[in-house]
Amino acid sequence: MTEHTVKAFDEDITRLRGLIAEMGGLAEVAIQESLHALVNGDADLARQVVERDRKLDTLESEVDKLAVRVLALRAPLADDLREIIAALKIAGVVERIGDYAKNIARRVGDVEDRKRFDPLTLLPVMGEVAAEMVHDVLTAYAARDPVLAREVIQRDERVDTFYDSIFRNLVSYMVENPATISSAAQLLFVARNIERIGDHATNVAEMVHYAATGEYPPDELR
Amino acid sequence: MVTEISENSPAKMRARDVSVYYGSKRAIDSVSIDIETDYVTSFIGPSGCGKSTFLRTLNRMNDTIPSARVEGAIELDGEDIYRSGMDVVQLRARVGMVFQRPNPFPKSIYENIAYGPKIHGLADGKDHLDQIVEKSLRRAGLWDEVKDRLSDSGTALSGGQQQRLCIARAIAVEPEVILMDEPCSALDPIATAKIEELIDELRGRYAIVIVTHSMQQAARVSQRTAFFHLGNLVEYGETSEIFTNPREERTKDYITGRYG
């Protein structure tokens, strides 16, 4: 992309993009580590995930402040304007994704008798798909790549399929043995959280698409 | 070029394949555009892009430059304004103009407004002339500020007031189109806001075309924006589209500050 005549404008945008990228990286790691902690019953790792979420909150407010400053001082237009608005919204969504990962981490201590649950092997796989969506959608943002954004949107179906399958599986545990209900319910929430992460990554993909092209992706994708 | 001209639109003014030459230098290259009464149209573009030159072809102001030559057709209500026998003085009453620097006559506020209606024979006696002066000053949002000192010199007003006086003067001869060439470039932000508010109030009554260097001003006051570059009309469309999602790369580079 050609540079702005006013160089400081480019610096602001680069800084904004850097903050978003940093947030994305943290959210992606939080998803992976929260599931790692869940599978292994690793309370220390779970606590670290919860603590590190604060960093995401801080970064989000930094994005807010910088975006407002750029809007006020530089009056951006066209793709610049769309990009700043997208950054503002994406920061909010990525912060939410971090909250879901934190919520998964908080449930680590509440799941008992781990070996009993097959879904515990499925959840990390599902989580990996969602984490990759987050990773790729931020790559799409960084590269202003609408094709990759659309590809991420399509991938959400896989996350939904995982969710349906894990849901049925966990319900059958609860039906067969009421003693599992407490832990199985926790795992249901975990699956639900990952499913929401997929939805949020999809929302980000739509914003990336709009920022890059000025058009929302076609309805059949959404 | 991207444009939204429809062949059967009820345009107040229509330009078709207009080229303007200064001697052998072509300043405007085959521009076609419709100007409608319902909208304020802004012309934007870097210095030397031809936007002011094109504006001046709309009321034959370029006639005053000996080396200037205009090709193509410009119509006002379907009438070719460059046809031989066209009354240029009458044309400039129908297509009024407001300039970059306010240029009131060195006469009283009253005389500044009354002059046009008098020479065009629009006033039927002193009372009628008084009415025209009051109505024009009211429409220009200046009446309350000057009604008690109509005999003071127009040049004694502040810059912003002078510019509104010039707008009132243009309005006084009942024009159909008002051309404004950077009308706020010599004004402070408050005076600018007043002119912009005035432009919005006049919209629909007159076809208004404004040349501006301020992208934000074009965004604030106009519903249609035309982007000129190197004598070409690069893109013409809805202002909100031009500023959020321009279709042409050159438009985008200019409005986002990446030009040159």
Cα–Cα distance, B179 to B206 (Å, whole number): 10
Q: How confident is the model at residue A115 (pLDDT cuts 50, 70, 90)?
A: confident
Beta-carbon separation of A9 and B246 below 8 A: no
Chain B residue numbers touching A79 (CB-CB < 8 A)? 252, 256
Which residues in A lie closer than 8 A to residue B253 (C-beta atoms)? 2
Cβ neighbors of A209 (< 8 A, separation 6 or more) are A146, A149, A150, A215, A216, A217
Rg of chain A on CA atoms, in Å: 19
Q: Which CATH architecture has domain A7-221?
A: Up-down Bundle (1.20)
pLDDT tops 90 at residue B3? no
Q: Do A6 and B215 touch (CB under 8 A)?
A: no
B256 vs A79, A214, A215: nearest CB: A79
Please give the ipTM for the structure prediction. 0.71
In whole angstroms, give the CA distance from residue A11 to residue A97. 27
The C-alpha atoms of residue A50 and residue A113 are separated, in whole angstroms, by 23
Query: Which residue in chain B has the smallest CA separation from A84?
Result: B244
Position B74 pLDDT exceeds 60: yes
pLDDT in tens, B145-197: 999 999 999 999 999 999 999 999 999 999 999 999 999 988 889 989 989 99
How far is residue A42's CA from residue A35's CA, in Å, rounded to a whole number?
10
Please, what is the average pLDDT of chain B? 92
Contact between residue A97 and residue A202 where contact means Cβ atoms under 8 Å apart: no
What pLDDT does A44 receive?
Answer: 97
**Which tokens sit at A75?**
């009056």
Q: Which residue of A has its CA nearest to B255?
A: A77
Average pLDDT of the segment spanning A145-162: 96
Average of per-residue pLDDT across A9-16: 92
Domains, chain B, in order of start with CATH, read: 13-255 (3.40.50.300)
Average pLDDT over residues A142-168: 96
The answer to whether the beta carbons of residues B52 and B39 sit under 8 Å apart is: no
Please report the pLDDT score of residue A118 as a whole number: 79
Inspect the interface and report whether the beta carbons of A75 and B245 lie closer than 8 Å. no
- The burial of A49, by beta-carbon neighbours within 10 Å (0-12 exposed, 13-18 middle, 19 or more buried), is given as buried
Provide the angle, in degrees to the nearest 10, between the axes of the packed helices A7-40 and A181-213. Answer: 160
pLDDT of residue B98: 95
- Using a CB–CB cut-off of 8 Å, the residues of B that contact A are 215-216, 219, 243-246, 251-253, 255-260
Domains of chain A by residue range: 7-221
For B257, which of A1, A9, A82 is closest by C-beta distance?
A9
